[in-house]
Amino acid sequence: MKYGRPDADFMKWRWKPDGCELPLFNPAQFLELVRGKSMAFVGDSVARNQMQSMICLLSRVEYPIDVSHTPDEQYKRWRYVTYNFTLANFWTPHLVKSAETDPNGPGKTGLFTLYLDEADDRWTSEAEEFDYLIISSGHWFYRSLVFHEDSKIVGCHYCLLENVPDLTKFYGYRKAFRTAFKAINALKNYKGITYLRTFAPSHFEGGIWNQGGNCVRTRPFRSNETALADENLELYMIQVEEFRKAEQEGRERGLKYRLLDTTQATLLRPDGHPSRYGHWAHENVTLYNDCVHWCLPGPIDTWSDFLLEMLKTEGRRSREEKLLFSDRKLKA
């Protein structure tokens, strides 16, 4: 609205699950549940967008102080002093070790080298500190990518290099999540809960992100107007399949995995992006029509509704497990 957006209905729509009511996010309740704990958002700028949404929601109760270890804005830490609760974000758009190797790569959007069998130690080296990890990634896999495994090139996605097979973004996406989850399961002192926050589709129409695509709708899709399909469906299924494998492997170590499934709820919200209203009209920005990130307030706030409800369920589950354990001891 600051930059001229004329409509405001995008702030009023709410997700309604089938067969139950989803309570609005209660910031005081959330902060009590996470008292003395810490939570990290691991991923790209949409992960940071999710953290910013949560900070806005929690501001009704308390403003955090900046306790970042570095001036780098990609690695922020915030402390809620009253509740001894820490929020952090780790910038890792591919989850694995990666580097931009040619800024003028195919399509002038850069060429990135991904080491698919090496997790990004900028987040794995600090992951053990946290009680909750929220893992997500997606949109950066649309860029031109060269895949390395065992220290050699195995293929790419739209890299246009001679004698390098195009394995597609889906190959890299699957391997990246597999490596990230394996890194979590290999952590010696990690006892937290890992959430996979599923892919949030963008809503470019009339072209892709760097070829004039835009999102100008001012109301949500009805459920019969769109469906998860094509590339969005493939990315979602890859995530869920790798999550299930990691969950099974982690269970053997006593680790907990939870699926924070935001895909369908955000698929229906083409109205919730900044579009050209995320900046001043004269500014030269990379994503001029932003149909990837989400307005605040807006649809992304629903993700905190989901997360709070899952934390409440987690508390009930823990109490039931303690009662069951106590009952077993009595019977023994």
Say whether 326 is catalytic: no
pLDDT tens for the 332 residues of the chain, in order: 999 999 999 999 999 998 889 999 999 999 999 999 999 999 999 999 999 999 999 999 999 999 999 999 999 999 999 999 999 999 999 999 999 999 988 877 889 999 999 999 999 999 999 999 999 999 999 999 999 999 999 999 999 999 999 999 999 999 999 999 999 999 999 999 999 999 999 999 999 888 889 999 999 999 899 999 999 999 999 999 999 999 999 999 999 999 999 999 999 999 999 999 999 989 988 889 999 999 999 999 999 999 999 999 997 766 655 555 555 555 66
Backbone Cα Rg of the chain:
21
Say whether 45 is catalytic: yes
Question: Which architecture, in CATH terms, is 9-331?
Answer: 3-Layer(aba) Sandwich (3.40)
Catalytic residue among 290, 301, 304, 305: 290
User: pTM for this one?
Assistant: 0.93
Catalytic residue among 202, 293, 304, 305: 293
The closest alpha carbon to 54, from 86, 102, 8, belongs to 86
Burial class (CB in 10 A: 0-12, 13-18, 19+), 13: middle
Say whether 290 is catalytic: yes
Q: In what order do the strands lie in the sheet with 144-149?
A: 96-102, 111-119, 144-149, 152-157
